[in-house]
Amino acid sequence: MPQHEFKLYVDSQFCSPYAMSAFVTLKEKGIPFAIQTIDLAANENHQPGYSHLSLTRRVPTLVHDDFHLSESSAISEYLEESFPAQAPVYPRDLREKARARQIQAWLRSDFLPIRAERSTEVVFFRPTNTPLSEAACASAKKLIAAIDSLLPDGASHLFAEWCIADTDLALMLNRLVLNGDPVPEKLAAYARHQWQRPSVLSWVNQERSL
């Protein structure tokens, strides 16, 4: 592979599910990259240095040589298409690839009650004792029903092989699983399995402080 310079901007707490997704893609692709943290609590993402790089002023942002790209799914798709000879992060089958992208888009656009009441702090720091609201329970029920219909019994991945949608989905499920909220064992086992993937563990084991 030609020599390229990659830098990934992530949140300083290593809690962003979107930064995690881009990080895992780079790891799976075997692409060497530097990490630069952004303190979102201090509004560093709105400072001129970062806002010049990030169209959205959010994390993650990937810098590839002189090209800057934000939004995690766009980053994963860009890396997949730029380096097709590297380990794939999307299914090869056209319809399965479309399904994987659908799942990613859905996880990013829906389930606000879960994301609000089970922030990634329950995943990476500590659980909460606050019960799920009625809205969050309904959101969880919708998530569980949909994924149960997609995930074959006993399967470790959504499709024949791992893809980046598995990581994104496991993160959403682990908001519930790791907090002790009720999740069917089939889906909890799937989420636990995904959490043991080396690229995922590399993110999970990052040093963090509140």
Where in the sequence is the domain holding 23, given as residue range(s)?
6-87
Residue 203 in any domain: the answer is no
The dihedral formed by the CA atoms of 41, 77, 24 and 145, expressed in degrees to the nearest 10? 90
Q: Are residues 62 and 13 part of one domain?
A: yes
Q: Are residues 83 and 100 part of one domain?
A: no
Rg of the chain, C-alpha, whole Å: 17
Burial of 85: CB neighbours in 10 Å, binned 0-12, 13-18, 19+: exposed
Residue 207 in any domain: the answer is no
Distance CA 38, CA 52 (A): 14
List the structure tokens of 154.
């006993």
CATH number, domain with residue 50: 3.40.30.10
Residue 107 in any domain: the answer is yes
Residue 16 in any domain: the answer is yes
Domain finish residue from 62, 87, 112: 87
Tens digit of pLDDT at every position of the chain (210 positions): 456 799 999 999 999 999 999 999 999 999 999 999 999 999 999 999 898 889 899 999 999 999 999 999 999 999 999 999 999 999 999 999 999 999 999 999 999 999 999 999 999 999 999 999 999 999 999 999 999 999 999 999 999 999 999 999 999 999 999 999 999 999 999 999 999 999 999 999 999 987
Q: Are residues 62 and 33 part of one domain?
A: yes
Residue 122 in any domain: the answer is yes
Residues sharing a CB contact under 8 Å with residue 126, sequence separation 6 or more, in sequence order: none
**For the chain, what is the domain count?**
2
Residue 106 in any domain: the answer is yes
Residue 73 in any domain: the answer is yes
| Among 67, 81, 103, residue whose Cα is nearest residue 25 | 81
Q: Are residues 71 and 118 part of one domain?
A: no
Q: Are residues 124 and 187 part of one domain?
A: yes
